[in-house]
């Protein structure tokens, strides 16, 4: 269970507070205007931004002193998820061994993970030789191998088309189900969120609001969400 305990994040001209929990295995979407702080919240969970006050807890344990690589989390960034000079197999191997010492057993696991995301036989390619979708799949395959209980997605598929994006999110859902991971997905696209997230966090006006049922949120959007969506007020 992920607990944000009176968490406050401050950066230049920016302030965000959050105080809620997410149970294990839940898929949470984060939606809100650009610059509202969705990515910053994810970076804080991954260990790249230190809280100004409050705590981030995983299963009751404070993560403040835990280095990013040792957190129970895998993060996929908007880009630069793969090292361009390493092969896909090596990039995946980093999920199993940060020392990149590949054993026979690991090679098998990597092959299985690649097959699982539909990249069989591409292990010796370099990232530059893959399409954007394939790169996303490779990064997901590594998340699969890392099998951390918290999967943080910072719009990693923003560059892909809607169909491909939906496909990737379906794959994420499968991966999450297999690893029983809690997923936090940042997206600009309400359709992505609606199609993927059980619950949704609205990030607006300096606060990341507690997650609510996605369907309910979109059925009765608060003013901030309406402004973001740019829709006319729903018909009464």
Pairing of strands 212-213, 199-204: antiparallel
Q: Which is nearer to another protein, 6 or 85 (CB)?
A: 85
Q: Are 189 and 177 in contact (CB under 8 A)?
A: no
Task: Please report how close the Cβ of residue 116 comes to another protein at its closest, in angstroms.
Answer: 19
Task: Please report how close the Cβ of residue 90 comes to another protein at its closest, in angstroms.
Answer: 7
Task: Please report how close the Cβ of residue 89 comes to another protein at its closest, in angstroms.
Answer: 13
Q: Which is nearer to another protein, 17 or 155 (CB)?
A: 155
Name the one residue in this structure whose structure tokens are 């370099």: 126
The span from the CA of 92 to the CA of 88, in Å, is 6
Task: Please report how close the Cβ of residue 74 comes to another protein at its closest, in angstroms.
Answer: 7
The span from the CA of 45 to the CA of 58, in Å, is 10
Q: Which is nearer to another protein, 45 or 207 (CB)?
A: 45
Q: Which is nearer to another protein, 13 or 84 (CB)?
A: 84
CA gyration radius, the chain: 18
> Distance between the two ends of the chain, CA-based, in angstroms?
38
**Within a 10 A sphere around the Cβ of 233, how many other Cβ atoms?**
8
Q: Which is nearer to another protein, 82 or 207 (CB)?
A: 82
Task: Please report how close the Cβ of residue 79 comes to another protein at its closest, in angstroms.
Answer: 8
**Within a 10 A sphere around the Cβ of 98, how many other Cβ atoms?**
10
Environment class of 90 (CB within 10 Å of its CB; exposed 0-12, middle 13-18, buried 19+)? middle
Residues that bind another protein (CB under 8 A): 43, 46-48, 67-71, 73-75, 77, 80-86, 90, 94-95, 98-100, 127-128, 135, 146
């Amino acid at each position: 269970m992920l607990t944000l305990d009176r968490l406050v994040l401050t950066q230049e001209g920016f302030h965000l507070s959050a105080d809620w929990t997410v149970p294990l295995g839940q898929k949470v979407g984060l939606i809100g205007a650009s610059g509202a702080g969705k990515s910053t919240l994810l970076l804080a969970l991954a260990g790249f931004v230190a809280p100004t006050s409050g705590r981030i807890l995983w299963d009751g344990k404070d993560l403040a002193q835990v280095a990013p690589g040792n957190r129970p989390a895998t993060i996929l960034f908007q880009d630069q998820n793969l090292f361009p000079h390493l092969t896909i197999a090596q990039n995946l191997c980093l999920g199993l061994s940060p020392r990149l010492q590949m054993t026979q057993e690991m090679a098998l696991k990597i092959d299985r993970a690649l097959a699982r995301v539909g990249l069989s036989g591409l292990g010796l390619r370099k990232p530059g030789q893959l399409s954007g979708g394939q790169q996303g799949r490779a990064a997901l395959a590594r998340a699969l191998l890392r099998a951390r209980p918290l999967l943080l997605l910072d719009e990693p598929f923003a560059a892909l088309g809607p169909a491909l994006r939906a496909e990737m999110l379906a794959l994420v859902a499968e991966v999450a189900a297999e690893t029983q991971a809690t997923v936090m997905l940042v997206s600009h696209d309400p359709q992505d969120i609606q199609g993927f997230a059980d619950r949704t966090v609205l990030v607006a006006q300096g606060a990341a609001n507690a997650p609510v049922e996605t369907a309910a949120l979109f059925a009765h959007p608060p003013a901030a969400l309406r402004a973001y969506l740019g829709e006319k007020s729903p018909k009464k």
